[in-house]
Structure 1
Amino acid sequence: MIICIGAGPGDIGYLTQRGAELIRDADVVAGFDAVVNVVRSLIPPGAEIVTMGYRNQVERLAQVALAHHAGKRCVVVFMGDIHFSGFQYLERVERACGHEVETLPGISSAQILASRAKVCFDETTFITFHRRGDLDPFKRHLVHVLQDARNAIVIPCPWDEARSFMPRHIAAYLLENGVSPEHPTEVWENLTRGEAEWHGTLAGCVDREFTDMSIMLIRTRRPMPSQIEPPEGK
């Protein structure tokens, strides 16, 4: 067995019960160092732990695939939910194994933010720049999302300076492409611990620095009115 699970947004309290059960029963638990550290207290004493970073992930996933094909119960843990920002990592797991693998969704930072900020997913689009490859199609999509009067929940790209697309870069790009500077904007850092939150406008975000552990909400300037029935007597 090999299964990929979403381990929640950096807090073991947001791990699903099924995910915790799979980790406790695993022979091998693998993932990026920071993610494995979140669930380390659940890993059984006899289990093999395979940690990795961006530079050695292909090599380490090949090691996990060998254990899987040898009949061991393998769990690969992802931060948040697999299908939010982890889809490229899932591709790497499946490439290493040579076949599709089972997945178990987790709680994402986007879900936590939607709850904290009281925005409806039906009226909101989620976009992640935390990915390899060409970001331009996703940048253009973000412009269209805001033009269509939808909220946008955005995960920035925090990598090297050449590719970095952090909240200030996102704000500058949107302003350069005709998006109103008056969009209400929020940036949350270390979301599950509630350490920092910034509220302002898109224009005010341009000159602000945020850490890699950031998620961004850009609110529509034309919120959808309530569609439930009016109160009695009105």
Structure 2
Amino acid sequence: MIICIGAGPGDLGYLTRRGAELIGNADVVAGFDAVVNVVASLIPATAQTVLMNYRDQTAQLAMVAAAHHAGKRCVVVFMGDIHFSGFQYLERVERACGHPVETLPGISSAQILAARAKVCFDETTFITFHRRGDLSPFKRHLLHVLQDCRNAIVIPCPWDAARSFMPCHIAAYLLENGIPPEQPVEVWENLTRNEAEWRGSLSACAGQSFSDMSIMLIRTLSPMPSQIEAP
């Protein structure tokens, strides 16, 4: 068995019961250091832990795949929900194993932010830039979302300076492409807290710096009126 598990936004309270059971019964638990640290208290003393980072993930996943093919119960943990911002990592797992693998969804940072900020997913679009490859199609999509008067929940790209697309870069890009400077923005860095770390306008956001663990909410200037029927 090999299964990929979404481990929530960094707090064990948001890990599903099924995810905890699978980790507690695993022979091998693998994932990026920070994610495995979140679930460390659930890992059996007898289990092998395989830690990895962006540089060595291919080699480490090959080790996990070998254990899987040897008949061991393997769990690969992801931050948040696999299908929100971990899809490329899932592709690497499946490439290492040579076949599709089972996935168990988790609670995503987008879901937590929607709850904290009281926005409706029907009126909101989620976009992640936390990915390798060309970001241009996703940048254009963000523009269209805001032009269509929808809220946008955005995960920035925090990698090397040449590719970073952090809140200040996102704000600058949107301003350059005609999004109004007064567009309301919130940046959340600790989603288990109850308040945003920063609130302000799009123009003000262009001059702010935030940590790699940030997520943005760009609110529409024209919220949809209530569609509850009149009594």
Specify the TM-score bucket, using the shorter chain as the normaliser: over 0.9
Partner deviation per Cα, 1:139-186 (whole Å, 9 max, x = no partner): 011000000010000000011111011000000000000111111110
Alignment partner, residue 36 of structure 1: 36
CA distance in 2, matches of 1:201, 1:12: 33
Equivalent position amino acid for 1:112 in 2: I
CA distance in 2, matches of 1:194, 1:188: 10
Is the 1:62–1:96 Cα contact (8 Å) retained in structure 2? yes
Gaps of 5+ in 2: none
CA distance in 1, matches of 2:56, 2:84: 22
CA distance in 2, matches of 1:109, 1:172: 23
Is the 1:189–1:195 Cα contact (8 Å) retained in structure 2? no
Alignment partner, residue 126 of structure 2: 126
Alignment partner, residue 12 of structure 2: 12
User: How many angstroms does 1:229 deviate by?
Assistant: 1.4
Gaps of 5+ in 1: none
User: How many angstroms does 1:197 deviate by?
Assistant: 1.6
DSSP-derived class of the 2:144 partner: helix
Moved over 6 A (4+): none
Partner deviation per Cα, 1:33-57 (whole Å, 9 max, x = no partner): 0000000000001000000000000
> What count of residue pairs does the alignment treat as equivalent?
231
CA distance in 2, matches of 1:195, 1:68: 42
Is the 1:183–1:221 Cα contact (8 Å) retained in structure 2? yes
Equivalent position amino acid for 2:216 in 1: M
Equivalent position amino acid for 1:82 in 2: I
DSSP-derived class of the 1:88 partner: helix
CA distance in 2, matches of 1:43, 1:195: 32
Alignment partner, residue 25 of structure 2: 25
Deviates more, 1:190-199 or 1:212-221: 190-199
1:221 corresponds to 2:184: no
CA distance in 2, matches of 1:194, 1:228: 28
Alignment partner, residue 81 of structure 1: 81
1:58 corresponds to 2:58: yes
Report the TM-score when normalising by structure 2. Answer: 0.98
User: How many angstroms does 1:191 deviate by?
Assistant: 1.4
DSSP-derived class of the 1:77 partner: strand
Alignment partner, residue 200 of structure 2: 200
Partner deviation per Cα, 1:162-218 (whole Å, 9 max, x = no partner): 101100000000000011111111001121245852111111101011111100000
DSSP-derived class of the 1:192 partner: coil
Aligned 1:126-145 pairs, distance under 5 A: 126-145=126-145
Percentage of matched positions with identical amino acids: 82
Equivalent position amino acid for 2:13 in 1: G
DSSP-derived class of the 2:180 partner: coil
